[in-house]
Amino acid sequence: MEQVDLGVIGAGPAGMAAATIAATAGLSVVVLDEQPAMGGQIYRAVASGGAARTDILGKDYLEGAGLAQDLQASTARHLTEAVVWDIAPQEGGVAITYSHKGIPARIEAKRLLLATGALERPVPLPGWTLPGVMTAGAGQILLKASGMVAPRAVLAGSGPLLYLLAVQMARAGSPPLALIETQSLRDQLAAAPRLAGGIRGWRILIKGLGLLAELRRHGIRRITGARDLEVIGTGRAEGLRFSAQGRAQEIACDTVLLHQGVVPNTQASRALGLAHDWHAGQRAFVPRTDGWGESSHPGIFIAGDGAGIAGAKAAAVAGQLAGLQIACQLGALDRAARDAKAQPARKTLDAERSIRPFLEAAYPVAAQILCPADKTLVCRCEEVTAGDVRHWAGLGCKGPNQTKAFGRVGMGPCQGRYCGLTVTEILSHSHNLPHSQIGAYRIRMPLKPVTLGELSTVNAPEDAEEGHPK
């Protein structure tokens, strides 16, 4: 079995930066990612290059190319299409089990870095399960991975990613029909006092203002303060209905791209039983980490959006900090060298994080999404509605894990990734109890669906014809 100093899960900015810095310090490093290329969400397929891509996706996208080149030039080994489905702490480190094209393999690592990024918050509203409805992130993946733009689309929800995607679609020659936003002027005014604390993150504000100006130049219609959103259509999405400016409105379209911000992907950190805290601003659970990204389990680190949403630049420097501390713990760097290298990274991290409280208040999650109407499906896998969860709460069901016993909610193929937070929100509201007391689903390995064949061969994997498992 392969043994390394550091195993990194995720080849986004956090994972790439951590692996590069640790490998440069002399550690043996392996990076596993289920994607076919490095880059993570924001820099997806960044190594594919091309001026046209940069024109559409923006020059920020190029920053990822630098991170990818550094990783490629380092001694770290990057395994593509490596789906990690089991992590087992053991004496002296962890055992990481993954599958590559259906063939399982296991690696032992003295230290583990979870750099598994963020997930889009689910957007349960009437009609969200109709064909033609996707998340904004999925629309962006189509653009980055395949150069495709969703046709006759309406973008709906809240958060800066909607502006970025609208602009990218317009640059690609297919602007959205409209941007229907749930945040209101009142939210923006209430967020204003937080600007003072976020002044070090001014670059993000300038970028946001630039996107808004570009939206205007492209003539993309924006409506803010929208409520009661509903995707309409028989058999597929045919339009979006909502109320705004004091009246009911409707826009006909073929695609609806929904977004209500992103939340940390805590599937692995939960399955490992690490400590988590409720983050009121991000309305999500966030793993507890120290200033280097080390979790409540010594030797297991978390960096990037998986440790709390702060964006790509913050993810890269948080990855560097984790890589430095791991190199120091394993004797490849002394404390003085670690601290000297960490200083600029910390400065950037603080600046990037400083703007978050403003963004969180300016783009709050819509009340309709936090507390969906009774008839709205919240668990798509098991077809459970918000009303079902409320009914079980009325019967005395206190936490998300109990709801599984009442109606299998969270027990489908997504393993609760897309309904977990909604169920916590509904129970918290129903019982008038804090989210921390309601808690979250208990996640169990395997993290991803695996076949019986993979399970049975994991201890005696065969050579793959192509690819890495041995």
Span near ligand FAD by CB under 6 A; candidates 6-14, 104-112, 326-334, 336-344: 6-14
Q: Is 115 in the site for ligand FAD (CB under 6 A)?
A: yes
Phi/psi at 389 (nearest 5 deg)? -65, -40
Determine which residue in the list 306, 308, 357, 469 makes contact with ligand FAD, applying CB under 6 A.
Answer: 306
Element holding 50 (H helix, E strand)? none
> Minimum distance from CB of 34 to ligand FAD (Å)?
4
Q: Is 126 in the site for ligand FAD (CB under 6 A)?
A: no
Determine which residue in the list 253, 312, 365, 386 makes contact with ligand FAD, applying CB under 6 A.
Answer: 312
Q: Which tokens sit at 125?
A: 């509203």
Closer Cβ to ligand FAD, 78 or 338, answer by number:
78
**DSSP state, 464?**
P
Q: Is 11 in the site for ligand FAD (CB under 6 A)?
A: yes
State the Cα–Cα distance between residues 295 and 359, nearest whole angstrom: 26
Pseudo-torsion of CA 415, 424, 352, 71, nearest 10°? -10
Q: Is 421 in the site for ligand FAD (CB under 6 A)?
A: no
Q: Which tokens sit at 129?
A: 């399960």
Instruction: Determine the Cα angle at 137 with ends 255 and 158, to 5°.
Output: 80
Q: Which tokens sit at 271?
A: 């399955």
> Minimum distance from CB of 159 to ligand FAD (Å)?
10
Determine which residue in the list 6, 164, 328, 377 makes contact with ligand FAD, applying CB under 6 A.
Answer: 164
> Minimum distance from CB of 243 to ligand FAD (Å)?
28
Span near ligand FAD by CB under 6 A; candidates 227-235, 240-248, 303-311, 394-402: 303-311
Count residues binding ligand FAD (CB under 6 A): 36
Site string for ligand FAD, 72-91 (x = CB under 6 A): ----------xxx-------
According to DSSP, the β-strands at 239-244 and 247-252 are antiparallel
Q: Which tokens sit at 115?
A: 């750099």
Determine which residue in the list 127, 261, 293, 304 makes contact with ligand FAD, applying CB under 6 A.
Answer: 304
Q: Is 129 helix (H, G, I), strand (E, B) or coil?
A: coil
The runs of H, that is alpha helices, within 105-201 are 136-146, 160-171, 185-191
Among 167, 176, 174, CA closest to 208: 167
**Sequential DSSP letters for 372-436:** --TTSEEETTTTEEHHHHHHHHHTT--SHHHHHHHH-TT-STTTTTTTHHHHHHHHHHHHT--HH
> Minimum distance from CB of 14 to ligand FAD (Å)?
3
Closer Cβ to ligand FAD, 104 or 233, answer by number:
104
State the Cα–Cα distance between residues 226 and 212, nearest whole angstrom: 18
State the Cα–Cα distance between residues 410 and 405, nearest whole angstrom: 10
Determine which residue in the list 4, 9, 258, 386 makes contact with ligand FAD, applying CB under 6 A.
Answer: 9
> Minimum distance from CB of 136 to ligand FAD (Å)?
8
Burial string for 364-398 (b: 16+ CB within 10 Å, else e) reads bbbebbbbbeeebbbbbbbebbbebbbebbeeebb
Element holding 237 (H helix, E strand)? none
> Minimum distance from CB of 329 to ligand FAD (Å)?
21
Residue indicated by tokens 């001694």: 75
> Minimum distance from CB of 440 to ligand FAD (Å)?
17
> Minimum distance from CB of 466 to ligand FAD (Å)?
19
Span near ligand FAD by CB under 6 A; candidates 109-117, 283-291, 388-396, 435-443: 109-117
Closer Cβ to ligand FAD, 158 or 385, answer by number:
158
Closer Cβ to ligand FAD, 12 or 420, answer by number:
12
Neighbour count for residue 306 (Cβ, 10 Å)? 32
Judged by CB under 6 A, the chain residues 13 through 52 that form the site for ligand FAD are: 13-15, 32-35, 40-42
Site string for ligand FAD, 234-263 (x = CB under 6 A): ----------------------------x-
Q: Which tokens sit at 455?
A: 């399970």
Q: Is 161 in the site for ligand FAD (CB under 6 A)?
A: yes
Q: Is 315 in the site for ligand FAD (CB under 6 A)?
A: yes
> Minimum distance from CB of 165 to ligand FAD (Å)?
7
Determine which residue in the list 448, 455, 464, 467 makes contact with ligand FAD, applying CB under 6 A.
Answer: 448
| Residue 319 CB partners (closer than 8 Å, separation 6+) | 13, 14, 15, 16, 17, 18, 19, 21, 113, 115, 303, 304
Cis peptide before 446 (omega within 30 of 0): yes
Closer Cβ to ligand FAD, 164 or 384, answer by number:
164
> Minimum distance from CB of 350 to ligand FAD (Å)?
16
Q: Report CA 253 to chain centroid distance, whole Å.
A: 27
Residue ranges that bind ligand FAD, judged by CB under 6 A: 9-15, 32-35, 40-42, 82-84, 115-120, 137, 140, 161, 164, 262, 304-306, 311-312, 315, 447-448
